[in-house]
Chain A
Amino acid sequence: MQFIRSVLICLICTLALPLAAQTESISNLIINEFLADPPPGLAGDANGDGSRVYQEDEFIEFINAGDSSLDISGYKLFDSQNGQTLRHIFPANTILAPYQVLLLFGRPSTGGNLGDFGQAIVQNASQSSVGNGDGLSLTNGGDNIVLKSPSDSTIFSFQYTAAEIDQSLTRNPDITGETVDIPHTTASNAGLLFSPGRTVEGNTFAIRTVGFKNAQSRISEDEGSINLILALEGQSPIPDSQITVEVHLISGNSQDIGGFSMQTVTFPAGSDMEQSLQISLTNDSLIEEEELFVFELDNLTSNDPAVSSPENSQFELSIVDNDAILEAGFSSESSEVKAYRQVADIPVQLSGMNFNSPIEIEVSLSNGNSSLIDNFSSDTLTFTPMTGLSQSLVIEMSQGVVINQEESFEFSLSVLSGSNINGVAVEGLQLSHRLTILPNTGSHYFYVDALNGDDTNDGRTPETAWETLIMINFYPEFPPSSRILLRAGSYWQGNLRTRGSGNGLDSVNIIDRYGKGPRPIIDGNGLVGEGVVKLLNQEYWEISGLELTNSAPSQGDRKGIEVRANDFGIVNHIHLKDLHIHDISGIPSSDNSGKRTGGIYITTGGDDFVDTRYDDILIENCIIHDCENQGIVTNNESGVSFRPDDPNFERRRYTNLRIRNNVIYNISKNAMIIRLTDGGLIEHNLCYNTALDGITGNTMFCRTTRNTTFQFNEGYGNQSPAHDGSMYDSDLSNFGPVFQYSYSHDNNHGLIWYAAEPHDRDIIVRYNISQNDKGRLIAMRQHFVNTSFYNNVFYIGPHVSPIIIHERSGKQFSYQFFNNIVYNLSPTARYEINSTATRDIDNNLFFGFQPSTQPADANMIQSDPLFVNPGKATFGLHSLDGYKLLQNSPALHAGRIIPDNGGRDYFGHYVAPDKAPHIGAYNGPGLDANSTAPFLQTNLGLSLMGDSVEGIDQTLLEARDPDHEAETLIYHLLRLPASGQLLLQGTALSLMDTFRQSDIDAGLLAYENVFDGNIGDYFAFEVEDPDGQKTDSSVFVFHLMNSTSNDLVSPDVECTIFPNPTSGLFQLEIHGSYIGEVQAQVLDFQGKKLKSLSLKKTQAHWQTSFNLEGLSPGIYFLRLQLGQHVLSKHIILKEG
């Protein structure tokens, strides 16, 4: 508010100017504030009676500013507008204590003076109806207030010339301000118009205050106690008075803090300004989770009336249950293992990150026949920051013991050491674990052990195992329920072929590993024409636990696993699980020959005489990488070029196919080719680095399928050099494929490629997120009809230039494009729309650059969708939370209703069939920008030498909050480092201290180690934003190195460049015995020589400077020739 000061005050008499006739004490009576012009309306209701009547609401505030009481009984107040008009006679016993306030209103209100005027004496002008005017008659335009003694001696006169300002005039500061001429709103940070009986901020009038020094604190339970600090602040004319105040516990369990409920704290006269009160924990085990205790001050007493405690003076003490920070337990309640494996892993897990010392967890057998498990009774697992949070207890079965029936074992867990850990189960962790060993009975066992086996053995027990796979490959026929078991740690060359089948789900044949150690390896050693493991016309087989490879210097027809059937009928139940297949040298090509090579190949070779197809195919938890040409392929080599409603589809289809939880990477062409599936589910797969070596190929594609679903897959790094470089491809002849809930990023093309045929239909692409994909994000290459594309999100960063929708010229498409968000930060992104397509584009949100080629959308939204934090996803589902919507997002409930919508969004929120959904891939509640919790973006820990100091900057520790700046994010320390101290601008921090992310960003935070032999240290913390939202508690770990542990042996020649990156000039330093000529060349990427210099190295330790002046910023090579030695270093040249 701009206020033009119009008040001219003439203070005839003030406290500082006592008239000679008055006593010293009366001279301490001052006017502190007066209201001559109550503002209009209720805002002018100064006396609090509910109405504004200027005669009643005008007031004068007097204060006794002396250190002794003042009796003003019988004193008279005049105003001089019309001479000496008496307005008030102070009644008998009007005695003001030191710093007491007297408040004089105008004429009495019928409703009374109902405001809260603190400790003030409140009076009304007793002579208000006498003479001219009414009430106090403080004239807005100016007046003269005169105080006279009972004997009519003038004590002071106070003159003002104008006060028509709709507020009071006051001293500022209260009492000690020199003049009473400050508009109240100028003095009051709270913006109050007046404050009768109170300070300009509306507080009780007092000169000294007693309060808690801090409003809150947080301690760990193992600290045992805390001192609450009470502080006395301010000055008083009578400082030598004693003050007492009561500290009450008003919230929290008194029994947990030694029964504390109230205690009196005394500030003796003339004492220090601070007093402490110790609060002690009864027993730290009583603290569960985090307990909050609230203390409040009450009943302050003192001879000094000018001392008080602020209202609601409270202190909040949070005591953190350290035990809760770290919990230990089994990862699961129970597990099963087949007896033949001979080894069981029981995972034990810690929850939290609070490493203070090694944590030893003892796992004991509490129930079960220990003689079956190598007489196991107990074992100790030691957890350190190096071992991490999970370890497995390895249970080995007794050698030579046959387990003929199901055996159960109960294991329990206890903590041997680690002061801050409980063996208490938290969500997801268990205190006991039941292991069930499934018997070997009823099966036929065949053991092969490359390390200790012998082909002259019978191969039927681990002790009499065969040595080579020849014994398996030439075994006439494995009966149902066979178990072919390969010893862990073994290695064989060649391949594994079996004969025979299971006979239904109750008699499945199994190939698996046994014993302790790494997966057994079968190495094709260049074998061509067959898979490293091959099933031919066999069914009811499960294969798991193997490592398979077949690398060769030349291309060839190679496969990791080959499942083939010819004229067989229905092949049932082929399960491939937990396999590691890698380095398969197939045929990198787009031809059929290439598409039949790779990691896993399942096919029908021929069906001229008997219809042949597959049912119940499962590929799960496999790692497939560095394969030419494919990752996983299903096929029928007799042909797949027909429609899904063709009779050939019925006789060749794959039913009940599931491919899930696999990792597939470094694949020449496609991670998966899914053909002939009827139904089928491809989910939870992670596929990256596909279409390598100049070969095109979409990461996952389907061909001749019906109602096949791809979901929850992540695909990135498709490197196709031309077309076909998307995460998904609905290739040819597909009815009703669904591509949903997937994450596509950093592919050379985008989310989906349609290479469809005119009869292809009902393709659904929904609730996917594409981030920084390149090329064609949606590529429509061939004809198709009735495709729905809805609720997807495309984030297009400024550095990519994709074609957002590509409609191939001259082709006919029919598709719908609803509820999608295109978040386009690229000025070069564009659309390619043709004139022959039929499209319905509606209810989408286009934000950012909107190219002129953007298709029409009658109901589009063009404003910012207000994502939480877009463009910041890394890998995995959780990194995509930034694509959720804030509560004021225009995308909320702005979508078009799509009845058959899949029922959920990308994040798992329900999507109703009959209510408007959000636009985009998120359908949860709009998130409050002010309550979005901060999160730890980086927490890397720090390695440093003992007895050293290192900074902790944002590359090591970074908390962020999408709606708050770094300077508002406060780190609360939950535990200090034990072997050093945390420094903020060089000052050691205590547990009570806080620091901010901006301190870290500014490089103000450091850790100083005092090396005590420990090689680890840490501090615990949580980060809070201004809304009180917090991160989970976490720890920042220091790894301490002994100062002598990393000495390196000097090589013959060692070259160092600094600074690097450089702005041009850098130093080249060469150590080594070589003396002589040094040829130095600066090269670009193409090897083009940009600078050349011939130097002479004259001594072992030699240094010269080098300048890249004239070169553009970028990366260059510095190639050095020193006699026979050639060294190459890279230099980063920065701008300016």
Chain B
Amino acid sequence: MWGQETAVIAWIDEIPVFEGELEVFLIRYRAELIRTTMNTYDLAYGQDFWQQSVGQTTPGHLLIKKAIEALIPFKIQQQLMIETAMMRRWEWNDFLAGYHSYNFRRSQDLANQQVIYGPPTLALEEYYFHYFQHQQHELIRRMHAQNLLAETKNYHILVSEMASTIPVKWKNDGPAGLSFDGKGFHVLLQKQ
């Protein structure tokens, strides 16, 4: 059997959220969550920071909540990309395959003294944001071509409007039940 399947942990308007994808956003907002919870709850930072009790929750789960909120516009974009035939479905492993290929190509280019933009290896977070930002341009172009958008700004209005009411459906017990490969999210947050 191959390696562990990256699990679906939730759905945002029927588009799956994968554990690895959430991790991108956990890292993105890690610093912000530490700050806001320390400032709000007068917490100290230490080894057990993410598991400390904050009312009925923990900083770790607040971070997950923040990450999911930040994910929503990307899920809407993914859905629109599917609906405009830019991709067939959203699958984290497919994305990862593209990411690894991208970096491998960069490493080969460097070895061959070819041009690359940015650092020799893009971190997964940087690739994720770069990829979707670029795809957004193509998506808007397609929506224009299909007479689905009169103006580019309408795209952002669309995403904003949808994001305001879009449902998040958690698998199993919701964020409280997340185990991140059985190791706990605090382990995840200690990753390089």
Q: Residue-by-residue, is A545-558 near B (CB-CB < 8 Å gives 1, otherwise 0)?
A: 00101010000000
Closest to B100 in A: A388
B145 near A874 (CB under 8 angstroms)? no
Q: Which residues of A contact B176 (CB under 8 A)?
A: none
Stretch at the interface among A200-208, A243-251, A515-523, A916-924: A515-523
CB distance from A170 to the nearest CB of B (A): 54
For this complex, 22 residue pairs linking A to B, each with C-beta atoms less than 8 Å apart, are: A331-B107, A384-B3, A386-B3, A386-B6, A389-B101, A390-B107, A428-B111, A428-B112, A491-B31, A518-B27, A685-B117, A686-B118, A741-B115, A874-B138, A877-B117, A943-B89, A1041-B5, A1046-B8, A1046-B16, A1054-B169, A1113-B147, A1117-B161
Asked, given contacts A525-B39, A1085-B154, whether A428 binds B87 with beta carbons under 8 Å apart, the answer is no
B104 near A349 (CB under 8 angstroms)? yes
B69 within 8 A of A: no
CB distance from B152 to the nearest CB of A (A): 10
Task: Provide the main secondary structure of the chain A interface.
Answer: loop
Contact of B2 among A349, A908, A1015 (CB under 8 A): A1015
Contact of B93 among A518, A582, A943 (CB under 8 A): A943
Asked, given contacts A384-B2, A489-B190, A1126-B165, whether A1049 binds B170 with beta carbons under 8 Å apart, the answer is yes
A1015 near B5 (CB under 8 angstroms)? yes
Asked, given contacts A386-B4, A953-B88, whether A875 binds B130 with beta carbons under 8 Å apart, the answer is yes
- A211–B120 Cα gap in the complex (Å)? 54
A712 near B115 (CB under 8 angstroms)? yes
CB distance from B151 to the nearest CB of A (A): 9
Contact of A551 among B35, B111, B122, B134 (CB under 8 A): B35
Asked, given contacts A521-B34, A1128-B164, whether A450 binds B104 with beta carbons under 8 Å apart, the answer is no
Chain A residue total in the interface (Cβ 8 A): 105
- A1085–B27 Cα gap in the complex (Å)? 33
Q: Which residues of B contact A663 (CB under 8 A)?
A: 118-119, 122, 126, 130
A1130 near B162 (CB under 8 angstroms)? yes
Residue from B27, B130, B158 having most chain A Cβ neighbours under 10 A: B130
Which residues of chain B from 78 to 132 have a CB within 8 Å of any chain A CB?
83, 85-89, 91, 93-94, 96-105, 107-109, 111-112, 114-120, 122-123, 126, 129-131
Q: Which residues of A contact B169 (CB under 8 A)?
A: 1048-1049, 1051, 1054
Q: Residue-by-residue, is B11-44 near A (CB-CB < 8 Å gives 1, otherwise 0)?
A: 1010010000000000100111011001100000
A688 near B130 (CB under 8 angstroms)? yes
Contact of A1115 among B11, B101, B120, B158 (CB under 8 A): B158
Q: Residue-by-residue, is A739-772 near B (CB-CB < 8 Å gives 1, otherwise 0)?
A: 0010101100000000000000000000000001
- A351–B27 Cα gap in the complex (Å)? 29
Q: Residue-by-residue, is A374-402 near B (CB-CB < 8 Å gives 1, otherwise 0)?
A: 00000000101111111000000000000
B47 within 8 A of A: yes
A717 within 8 A of B: yes
Asked, given contacts A384-B3, A799-B141, whether A684 binds B161 with beta carbons under 8 Å apart, the answer is no
CB distance from A1133 to the nearest CB of B (A): 8
Asked, given contacts A384-B2, A523-B31, A799-B144, whether A713 binds B100 with beta carbons under 8 Å apart, the answer is no
Contact of B31 among A427, A521, A1127 (CB under 8 A): A521
Asked, given contacts A349-B107, A493-B38, A877-B114, whether A551 binds B161 with beta carbons under 8 Å apart, the answer is no
Asked, given contacts A390-B104, A874-B134, A943-B91, whether A1128 binds B161 with beta carbons under 8 Å apart, the answer is yes
A1132 near B119 (CB under 8 angstroms)? no
Asked, given contacts A878-B105, A908-B114, whether A386 binds B93 with beta carbons under 8 Å apart, the answer is yes
Besides A717-B137, A1130-B161, 13 other A-B contacts (C-beta < 8 A):
A385-B97, A389-B100, A428-B107, A428-B112, A578-B119, A684-B115, A716-B137, A1039-B94, A1048-B11, A1054-B167, A1061-B83, A1114-B148, A1130-B158
Q: Which residues of A contact B2 (CB under 8 A)?
A: 355, 357-358, 384-386, 1014-1016
Contact of A1135 among B117, B147, B166 (CB under 8 A): B147
CB distance from A1047 to the nearest CB of B (A): 8
B117 near A518 (CB under 8 angstroms)? no
Q: Which residues of B contact A988 (CB under 8 A)?
A: none
